[in-house]
Amino acid sequence: MAAGMYDSRPAARVPHAAPRGTAWIPVAAQTLIWSGAAGVLGLWWSDTTSVVGPGGWLTDGGRITGLLAGYACAVLLGLMARIPVLDRGVGTDRLARWHAMGGRYTLSLALTHTLLIIWGYAVTSHANVVSQTTTLVLHYPDLLKGTAGFLLLVGTGIVSARVARRRLRYETWHYLHFATYLAVFLVFGHQLSNGADFVGNRPAQLAWYAMYLGIAALLLWYRFVIPVRRAMRHRLRVAEVRGEAPGVVSVHLTGEHLDELGAEPGQFFRWRFLAPGLWWAANPYSLSAPAHHRHLRITVKAVGTHSAALATLAPGTRVWAEGPYGGFTAARRTTTRTLLLGGGVGITPLRTLLETLPGDITLLYRARRPEDLALRGELDALAAARGARILYSVDEPAAHCLPLTAAALLQYVPDLRDRDVYLCGPPGMTDAALGALRDAGVQRRRIHHESFAF
């Protein structure tokens, strides 16, 4: 094991001197979501006097699942509206996981709704399923559009499945996912035109409109208006591209009034470089140095077409940056002792935290070879200046590799259970580290990690 060890000394002046708890935000968000679902069930209950016969049971099952599917569509869009309090308090990748799980529930509810309604109507009218389906789709108000929206939802679900996503470029999947907006728009009308709980129920209609229009306003504001305003206000441009390690470059950017962005160490932006072949994609990259009022920096490893092309950016290239996003910040801390555990280019947000987090800091940085340890000179200088400890681990040569096991982590960080752990790296390394940390007895609430797999 090769390690850079430094004796503890008083740390330099660092912001965020006290942890600011955000644990209540995920709880509050989930409580609000489930309360809304209970309210939707209450709408069905208040509008239903009795359920009679097999046709009635099937039809009312379809009503319930349809109401829940319509509500879930609004929740899905709200989770991805990039609302700052949710994004920072819950975390972007956690919101994405909620969104993915909610998408599976929504699709299941929509499919169940469709089958139960057709079956229930067929039983009640003593018709066969095929003719009943034709009657519903072609003769009920807005149901042709609703059917198109349902099929779009199914298509989006197929594209978002893990097997399919592996075969698609991130940018392709991202733009195909926009079909969700069109699907929800098409489905919305048929809910109010045909839903027994809405026809003639003005308060329910107004509440449904308010929910959807509110979500639409949040999406428009945070995903479109604010990014455009910030692009015009901050006028970001590429200043320099500098090599850091094999296949790794730092992109230095200049702009105006960048302090107004409020970017915290550990956060990321979605970067759109207005250069040929790059302008249409907005990819997430973390800041690799604390934000300055005149300049920002990201450090990127070439793992795909987009990231590899950044090495060829010309100074002066215009840049749009959406963000800052993510909850991988000092606000997650529960104590003043921290382990930063990074692998590969995952060192970028950890480098900003190493500079800014107060207290007792240990950094464990893993890479394949010594030359792949990006930003090593900066890390050593920061550790010396603030009295932090750095442990370097490389796979080649094997003699200098620290295995990601509970025993090894406890050997080199004996007080591991009493530390917050900030974890960032490739998926395989992250999964192994999570298992080792839990085996070592580190509480889940003290393990903070964020990925870009969304």
CATH number of the domain residue 358 falls in: 3.40.50.80
Torsion angle (degrees, nearest 10) of CA 123, 125, 128, 133: -100
Specify if 372 maps to a domain.
yes
**pLDDT over 70 for what percent of the chain?**
92
In this structure, the answer to whether residues 160 and 277 fall within a common structural domain is no
Q: Does residue 358 share a domain with residue 318?
A: no
More confident residue, 198 or 178: 198
Judge whether 454 lies within some domain.
Answer: no
Boundary residue ending a domain (309, 325, 341): 325
Helices (H) and strands (E) in the chain, counts: 16, 12
Which of 180, 207, 229 terminates a domain? The answer is 229
Per-residue pLDDT at 272 exceeds 50: yes
Half-sphere exposure of 173 (CA within 13 A, CB side): 17
How many domains in the chain?
3
> How does pLDDT run across 276-322, given as a tens digit for each residue?
888 888 889 999 999 999 999 999 998 878 888 999 999 999 999 99
- Is 90 exceeded by the pLDDT of residue 40? yes
Q: Does some domain include residue 102?
A: yes
pLDDT of residue 331 exceeding 90: no
Residues sharing a CB contact under 8 Å with residue 390, sequence separation 6 or more, in sequence order: 3, 4, 5, 6, 362, 363, 364, 365, 379, 380, 383
Phi-psi region of 235 (alpha: psi -120 to 50; beta: other; left: phi over 0): left
13 and 124, same structural domain?
Answer: no
Residue 417's pLDDT is what? 94
Residue 22 pLDDT level (bands cut at 50, 70, 90): low
Residue-by-residue DSSP string for 395-436: SSSGGG----SHHHHHHH-TTGGGSEEEEES-HHHHHHHHHH
Task: Express each pLDDT in 438-452 by its tens digit.
Answer: 999 999 989 998 776
**Is the bond preceding residue 324 a cis peptide, omega within 30 degrees?**
yes
The CATH number linked to 266 is 2.40.30.10
Q: Cα 27 to the chain's mean position, in Å?
A: 17
Are 7 and 62 in the same domain? Answer: no
pLDDT tens, 181-230? Answer: 888 888 888 888 888 888 888 999 999 999 999 999 999 999 899 999 99
| Higher local confidence (pLDDT), 18 or 117 | 117
Shared domain check, 152 and 269 = no
| Mean pLDDT score, 45-69 | 89
Residues 80 and 193 both lie in one domain: yes
pLDDT at 347: 94
What is the span of the domain harbouring residue 28?
24-229
Q: Would you say residue 276 lies in a domain?
A: yes
209, 173: one domain: yes
Classify residue 243: in a domain, yes or no.
yes
Whole-number pLDDT of residue 177: 75
Comparison of pLDDT for 341 and 159, the residue scoring more: 341
> 432 in a domain, yes or no?
yes
Residues 241 and 215 placed together within one structural domain of the fold: no
Q: Which of the four pLDDT bands, split at 50, 70 and 90, describes residue 14?
A: very low
Per-residue confidence band for 256, with pLDDT thresholds at 50, 70 and 90: very high
Within a domain: 50 = yes
Residue 2: the pLDDT is 39
Tell whether 220 and 243 lie within a shared domain: no
- On the question of pLDDT at 168 being above 90, the answer is no
Nearest Cα residue to 261 out of 293, 290, 213: 293
Q: Quick check: 449 and 434 in contact, CB under 8 A?
A: yes
Q: Where are the alpha helices (DSSP H) in 161-236?
A: 162-166, 170-176, 179-194, 202-220, 226-234
The residue out of 325, 344, 369 marking a domain boundary is 325
pLDDT reported for residue 3: 40
Q: Do the Cβ atoms of 375 and 299 come closer than 8 Å?
A: yes
Q: Are 193 and 274 in a shared domain?
A: no
- The DSSP H or E segment spanning 111 is helix 92-125
Query: Does the pLDDT value for residue 6 go beyond 50?
Result: no
The dihedral sign for the CA sequence 201, 207, 210, 215: negative
Residues 319, 273 contacting (CB under 8 angstroms): yes
User: pLDDT tier at 10 (50, 70, 90 boundaries)?
Assistant: very low
Residue 8 has pLDDT above 50, yes or no: no
- What pTM, to 2 d.p., does this model score? 0.78
Residues 37 and 168 in one domain: yes
Same domain, 11 and 55: no
Q: Is residue 318 part of a domain?
A: yes
Please tell me the predicted confidence (pLDDT) of residue 16. 38
Instruction: Specify the pLDDT at position 453.
Output: 55
